[in-house]
Amino acid sequence: MFHVWRCATGPCHVVIPVHLIAITLVLLVSMPCQKRCLHSRCRQICGYPCVPCMETCAWTCRHHACDLRCHEICKRPICNEPCEKLLHCGHPCLGFCGEPCPSICRVCTPQYKDTISLMTMEEFEETDRFVMLPDCGHVFEVSGLDTWMKSEQCDSGTNSISPKSCPSCKNIIRQSLRYGNQIKARMKQLEDVKMRIFGNQQVNEGIVLLRRKQFDEALEQFLTGKNMQIR
């Protein structure tokens, strides 16, 4: 018999035998946090309140800039001006100003198919623009991805608090500049929940010690059971 465990803030999706649930849960909650930004990565244990990044926001282009801290909700508008760069192939970029250039080209990648609209490159208008998700590299037509990111329902089909993920690979979206405010708003909700659960740093340190004790006890119980089976 097996049990499925899914971490609330990370990419974990693990199938484990029932008799190993106790030790596996202790191991999973001891994994490093997966939250990161363009400046750094959280060094906390998964599930604990994250330390906010205090660097200056990296969302800037020649039309707009944000002077707030990285973790704060940006006040600058989204830039919908087309990117003026050329791709390595020499053709115009299909993305937006200040955003990572999408890895597709109207001429060189006619086989491209958008997984949200299911439209091919030939079906898109010349004026249509695209966005690439830096975390996984998947590219989408902007109107479809905008709608996806604005939807309140999480990807599991419920209204629980959950980070948005790529429509193609389900990898959590963490570093997109265009959708930075949606990402920060979701993460803020998660942080509020974690703070209510774990509280301040002193409480966190106590929980770490408790979990270490739980791990030792679970490991001892597991090894004892194994030895009894061998006998």
Percent over 90 (pLDDT), the chain: 42
Task: Check residues 47 and 67 and name the one with the higher pLDDT.
Answer: 67
14 and 28 in contact (C-beta within 8 Å)?
Answer: yes
Lowest mean pLDDT among 4-18, 100-114, 177-191: 4-18
What integer pLDDT is reported at residue 45 of this predicted model? 80
Task: Convert the pLDDT of each residue in 117-174 to its tens digit.
Answer: 999 999 999 999 999 999 999 999 999 999 999 886 555 555 567 788 999 999 989 8
Q: Could you tell me which residues are beta bridge partners of residue 82?
A: 96
Q: Is the pTM of this model over 0.85?
A: no
CA distance 20 to 2: 9
Task: Check residues 203 and 21 and name the one with the higher pLDDT.
Answer: 203
What integer pLDDT is reported at residue 199 of this predicted model? 63
69 and 34 in contact (C-beta within 8 Å)?
Answer: no
Task: Convert the pLDDT of each residue in 187-228 to its tens digit.
Answer: 888 888 877 776 655 556 666 667 777 777 777 877 776 555
Greatest CA separation found in the chain? 73
- Tokens representing 110 are 């006619």
Q: What is the mean pLDDT of residues 77-87?
A: 95
Please give the C-alpha separations between residue 43 and each of 26, 90, 230, in angstroms, as whole numbers. 18, 41, 40
Residue in the structure block whose two tokens are 């119980």:
221
Does pLDDT of 231 surpass 90?
A: no
Task: For residue 145, count other CB atoms closer than 10 A to its CB.
Answer: 25
Among residues 153, 161, 156, which one has the least CA distance to residue 186?
161
What integer pLDDT is reported at residue 25 of this predicted model? 47
Percent over 70 (pLDDT), the chain: 73
What integer pLDDT is reported at residue 153 of this predicted model? 53
Lowest mean pLDDT among 4-18, 47-61, 216-230: 4-18
Q: How confident is the model at residue 100 (pLDDT cuts 50, 70, 90)?
A: very high
Does pLDDT of 1 surpass 80?
A: no
142 and 131 in contact (C-beta within 8 Å)?
Answer: yes
CA distance 154 to 194: 18
Q: How confident is the model at residue 113 (pLDDT cuts 50, 70, 90)?
A: very high
Q: What is the mean pLDDT of residues 39-64?
A: 86
Q: What is the DSSP letter of 27?
A: H
Q: What is the mean pLDDT of residues 50-66?
A: 89
